[in-house]
Structure 1
Amino acid sequence: MKTVLKTFAAALLLGVAAMGVAKADPVKIGVAAEPYPPFTSPDASGKWVGWEIDFIDAVCAEEKLDCVITPVAWD
């Protein structure tokens, strides 16, 4: 019985340790694709900038998340 318990405990510990190694997928965040300064608009290089983008970047940095901002059309 002790051998079974030790084996189970070792397997459980290994499983928990492996969870910390897994990398999460990036969080996809949609913003309105239509320019609406000062909230969102593309700059000269095509990168989206504005208050909403700054807010999203700050939240993602605080939560240590890998975020991808995706423009979404109003359909």
Structure 2
Amino acid sequence: MKVLEQRFHYLDNTGCWEEMDLENIFQSYKENEFYNPITHEKINEKKFNDIVLPYFCPTDELVSLLKGVKQ
């Protein structure tokens, strides 16, 4: 059973978190080509990693399981 799901997001110009598509993330690392998600300019991997941050959230499966335990 998967309990956590990895996702990626960045802080936009308005101070809101914007989620990034996982396929775009995987493609960037596969091709070693990184772009700033706000300006779309080409950047290096370190800068990309400073802008685009990973985070983890519970899977729907875990949430359902925990709801069952709570009742």
Class of the TM-score when normalised by the shorter of the 2 chains: under 0.3
Structure with larger RCO (C-alpha < 8 A, sep 6+): 2
Give the TM-score normalised by structure 2.
0.27
Give the TM-score normalised by structure 1.
0.26
Larger Rg computed on CA atoms: 1
